[in-house]
A = this chain, B = another copy of it.
Amino acid sequence: MYEGIVQDLIDELGRLPGVGPKSAQRIAFHLLEADPADVRRLAETLVKLKDLVRFCTICGNVAEEDTCRICRDPRRDASLICVVEESKDVVAIERTKEFRGRYHVLGGAISPMNGVGPEQLRIRELMTRLADGTVAEVILATNPNLEGEATATYLTRFLGTMGLRVSRLASGLPVGGDLEYADEVTLGRAFEGRRVVHG
Contact = CB atoms under 8 A, between A and B. Distances in A.
Contact of A18 (B3, B23, B32): B23
A47 to B, nearest CB: 5
A45 B49 CA distance: 16
A17 B12 contact: no
Contacts of A94: 1
A49 B88 contact: no
Contact of A53 (B5, B15, B19, B91): B5
- Best-surrounded residue of A19, A49, A69 (most CB of chain B within 10 A): A49
A36 B50 CA distance: 6
Nearest to A29: B88
Contact of A49 (B19, B32, B48): B32
Interface string A14-50: 0111110001011111111000101111111111111
A151 interface: no
A43 to B, nearest CB: 4
A3 B71 CA distance: 13
A32 B62 contact: yes
Interface in A53-95: 53, 62-64, 68-69, 86-88, 91, 94
A62 to B, nearest CB: 5
A155 interface: no
Nearest to A3: B64
B43 A5 contact: no
Interface of A: 1-6, 8-9, 12-13, 15-19, 23, 25-32, 36, 38-50, 52-53, 62-64, 68-69, 86-88, 91, 94
11 contacts: A2-B87, A3-B62, A4-B64, A5-B64, A8-B45, A12-B41, A18-B23, A31-B49, A36-B50, A40-B47, A43-B47
